[in-house]
Structure 1
Amino acid sequence: MNLELTEEQAAVRQLAKDFVDREVAPHATEWDRAEQVDRSLVKTMGDLGFLGLTIPEEYGGSGGDHFAYALVTEELGRGDSSVRGIVSVSLGLVGKSIAAWGSEEQKQEWLPRLTSGEAIGCFGLTEPGTGSDAGNLTTRAVRDGDAGDWVINGTKMFITNGTWADVVLLFARTGAEPGHKGVSAFLVPTDTPGLSRREIHGKLGLRGQATAELVLEDVRVPASAMIAPEGKGFSVAMSALAKGRMSVAAGCVGIAQAALDAAVGYATERDQFGKTIAHHQLVQELLSDISLDVDAARLLTWRVADLIDRGEPFVTEASKAKLFASEAAVRCANNALQVFGGYGYIDEYPVGKLVRDARVMTLYEGTSQIQKLLIGRALTGVSAF
């Protein structure tokens, strides 16, 4: 096994690192306080090719492999998880789903706009009453027999990019079959009459991210808005989330790396008892624990990217990476705060934000408990349905 990056991968990683150090990290605290990321970053990331990674060039993408995509999302997570989420959702969940499942017309209509940053996508799966139980969502699409259109009613909750998005990859029940079998997927422009959005403020973490509630009241879309065959929406969602878990894991590695960088920097500068606190063995223990978690989470994530690029099965490995990396990010941020002591509790320093941002990683795109169920089912051969 060769863990050395190719020249192209190293160049993409350096490009992302330079962008984060210049355009993201210096503003992360300001955006966190304002609960608003600078939206001009979207176009900048499009120009740099970050929003087109793994998408074919014929649709405006920048090509590249999933390993490069993981490297970029790690760097974005190191700078500000709110920025990482923009890419993970608009490209990772929406753009890649269109590339994999969309018709030629859907690809031509949306991919060039999404990859350039001209448009942003959001992923409309979670509902107020169905998070982990996504197969039993209640949003419903009913066919208008005369026009052939679909009329959609329902509510979606905790939707990343929700108030910024130009298109929603929306999941709704279209059939009488119970559970996941009756779910279909649609591409719904957010300016469609009947679709309203409310931004959610006061979040514990990811405060700069545009998180929203979407309400659909008699939203009418043409039959051509359906992506993939009717009844295959759950397959679209699960395939997106399987790769999305790699992106979340990579972002968690970024959080953990930021925690390590901050803790080491502070420990080697802060004097106490006549020497820097880096000399104290218990501080060294905290730093070594963070470093170990960073390396382990990174290697688990890299394994997933490598499997995807080689066309090998990766779903269980993605659950393992997401589970470990998200829990590790919480541990790393918490240990970094401990190194900072009381100063870590003030948002003038970065570690408090890292603690808050890390916590949600164990919840979305499949909670830690759901990942354990998926891993256990894979080990035992027990079916989920």
Structure 2
Amino acid sequence: MAAQFELGSKHLENKKQANAAITEIQADNTKAVVKELINKGYGAVPSAKAAYDDYLGLTIVTEEIAKTAPEAASVLVDQILAQELAAKYGNGELNSSEIYAILCSEPGNADPKGLATKATNNGGNWHIEGKKLLRKEHLTADKYLIFAQDENQTRIFSVPEEKINVNSVTKNVAGSNVEINQVELNLDVPESACIAVVNDQLELYLTVARTLIAAVSIGIGHSAVVAGVNTAKEVRDSNKQALSGSQNVQFALSDMFAELEAARMLTYYSADAVDNNKPSIKFATMAKVQATDAASQNSIQALQLLGNLGYLANSDFADLIRLAVEGQVKGGTNRTQRSQIYQHMLANKK
């Protein structure tokens, strides 16, 4: 499998250009970074006009951006998925200059096929009622794509940001107060707001989504490995020897690197299968689980090397850990997706 992904000149150029694009950007907030990347051709489905023309190139670019700006990469993934939804289930392309956030997850439910949010047609208008959960990066959106269930099928509505009221809900979890961003929907939108009707099991969409979530996590995991290696070289123990001289530290860093490389190969394999018209939800799910677990474990291992500097709330590394762990629950928890992998094992599905 590894030999299959010795990247050719096209994909190496994709990687080089993405690195240059993110390095050139001077913006100091996620929304501004995303806007500049969109202007440079990123955040679109593969095409001759984008910065890549296949899904493997798209995956490599997403990973590269995530190494430097993981939150921006996560927002770009939503832009790509929004375009996928509009192209496959709707009436064409969305406005490529606007930032979209996909609101599918609900309190207690991340399955797009079992939604509690309801859409009712009131003779020319749609009434949408329900609750949705928001991630931090969703707050950068100009418009929200809301999944809702009518009597027979799932519909997707485009709603401007100003019509969405975000509430911060405090919940007590295991004795700790946790703030959750939540939207309570009770609004009317015109018929034209319905941009897509889902008429299948969303398998291709979920395959692309999980592959791209994996790509973001690989970028995060890479940053954790780099932080770990640099710290091991710079920090001295009580004998004034670099931590990198310790065999235990070497083993830990080697494991981090090996797990990340395994995740990368699975992710590239999944993207390449989409390019060859053989998309596999099984491989995409395995890639997502492997990559997000590797990113989370790598971040925790790097934290052990960084010590108290790693967990300060205002440090960049603290955000990296949050994003790494978030990947394990995004689009459905890894525990749920392991159950799906098991079902594929039993059925011997591709």
TM range (shorter): 0.7 to 0.9
Change (3 A) 1:153 1:55: farther
Q: Which residue of 1 aligns with 2:208?
A: 243
- Letter of the aligned partner of 1:270 in structure 2? V
Q: How much does 1:242 deviate?
A: 2.1
For residues 334 and 89 of structure 1, the distance between their equivalents in structure 2, rounded to whole angstroms, comes to: 26
Q: Which residue of 2 aligns with 1:125?
A: 104
For residues 322 and 248 of structure 2, the distance between their equivalents in structure 1, rounded to whole angstroms, comes to: 24
Aligned to 1:169, the other structure's residue is in SS state: strand
Q: How much does 1:159 deviate?
A: 5.1
For residues 226 and 281 of structure 1, the distance between their equivalents in structure 2, rounded to whole angstroms, comes to: 57
- CA RMSD, 1 decimal: 2.8
Question: What TM-score, normalized by structure 1, do the two folds share?
Answer: 0.79
- Residues 56 and 271, structure 2, Cα contact 8 Å, conserved in 1: yes
Q: Which residue of 2 aligns with 1:187?
A: 157
Q: Which residue of 2 aligns with 1:99?
A: 87
- Residues 263 and 290, structure 2, Cα contact 8 Å, conserved in 1: yes
Q: Which residue of 2 aligns with 1:144?
A: 122
Q: Which residue of 2 aligns with 1:68?
A: 57
For residues 143 and 256 of structure 1, the distance between their equivalents in structure 2, rounded to whole angstroms, comes to: 45
Question: Is residue 87 of structure 2 the alignment partner of residue 87 of structure 1?
Answer: no
Q: How much does 1:356 deviate?
A: 2.3
For residues 69 and 51 of structure 2, the distance between their equivalents in structure 1, rounded to whole angstroms, comes to: 23
Q: 1:4 aligns with which of 6, 19, 24?
A: 6
Change (3 A) 1:121 1:379: same
Q: Which residue of 2 aligns with 1:326?
A: 292
Q: How much does 1:382 deviate?
A: 9.5
Q: 2:133 aligns with which of 157, 169, 186?
A: 157
Give 1:227-376 correspondences, 5 Å limit. Answer: 227-228=196-197, 232=199, 235-236=201-202, 238-272=203-237, 273-346=239-312, 350-376=316-342
Q: What are the Cα deviations for residues 192-244 of structure 1, in whole angstroms up to 9, with x where unaligned?
A: 8xx323165999xxxxxxx9533332322216724136xx2x634x5322211
Question: Is residue 156 of structure 2 the alignment partner of residue 168 of structure 1?
Answer: no
Aligned residues: 338
Q: How much does 1:172 deviate?
A: 1.4
Structure 1 unpaired stretches of 5+: 32-36, 176-181, 204-210
- Letter of the aligned partner of 2:182 in structure 1? E
Aligned to 1:50, the other structure's residue is in SS state: coil
Q: What are the Cα deviations for residues 292-326 of structure 1, in whole angstroms up to 9, with x where unaligned?
A: 11211111111111111111131100000001111
Q: How much does 1:347 deviate?
A: 5.7
Q: How much does 1:48 deviate?
A: 1.9
- Residues 169 and 182, structure 2, Cα contact 8 Å, conserved in 1: no
For residues 334 and 365 of structure 1, the distance between their equivalents in structure 2, rounded to whole angstroms, comes to: 22
Change (3 A) 1:170 1:296: same
- Letter of the aligned partner of 1:102 in structure 2? G
For residues 223 and 158 of structure 1, the distance between their equivalents in structure 2, rounded to whole angstroms, comes to: 24
Structure 2 unpaired stretches of 5+: 172-179
The runs of 4+ residues in structure 1 deviating greater than 6 Å are none
Question: What TM-score, normalized by structure 2, do the two folds share?
Answer: 0.86
- Letter of the aligned partner of 1:97 in structure 2? L
Change (3 A) 1:270 1:200: same
Q: How much does 1:21 deviate?
A: 4.2
- Residues 119 and 129, structure 2, Cα contact 8 Å, conserved in 1: yes
Q: Which residue of 1 aligns with 2:38?
A: 46
- Letter of the aligned partner of 1:128 in structure 2? P
For residues 329 and 314 of structure 1, the distance between their equivalents in structure 2, rounded to whole angstroms, comes to: 22
Q: 1:222 aligns with which of 170, 177, 191?
A: 191
- Letter of the aligned partner of 2:207 in structure 1? A
Change (3 A) 1:74 1:216: same
Q: Which residue of 2 aligns with 1:206?
A: none
Q: What are the Cα deviations for residues 119-167 of structure 1, in whole angstroms up to 9, with x where unaligned?
A: 0111121122423x4433222111223x3x3222222212565443333
For residues 79 and 87 of structure 1, the distance between their equivalents in structure 2, rounded to whole angstroms, comes to: 14
Aligned to 2:4, the other structure's residue is in SS state: coil
Aligned to 1:325, the other structure's residue is in SS state: helix
- Letter of the aligned partner of 1:154 in structure 2? G
- Residues 188 and 221, structure 1, Cα contact 8 Å, conserved in 2: no
Change (3 A) 1:244 1:320: same
- Letter of the aligned partner of 1:12 in structure 2? N
- Letter of the aligned partner of 1:253 in structure 2? I
Q: Which residue of 2 aligns with 1:196?
A: 164
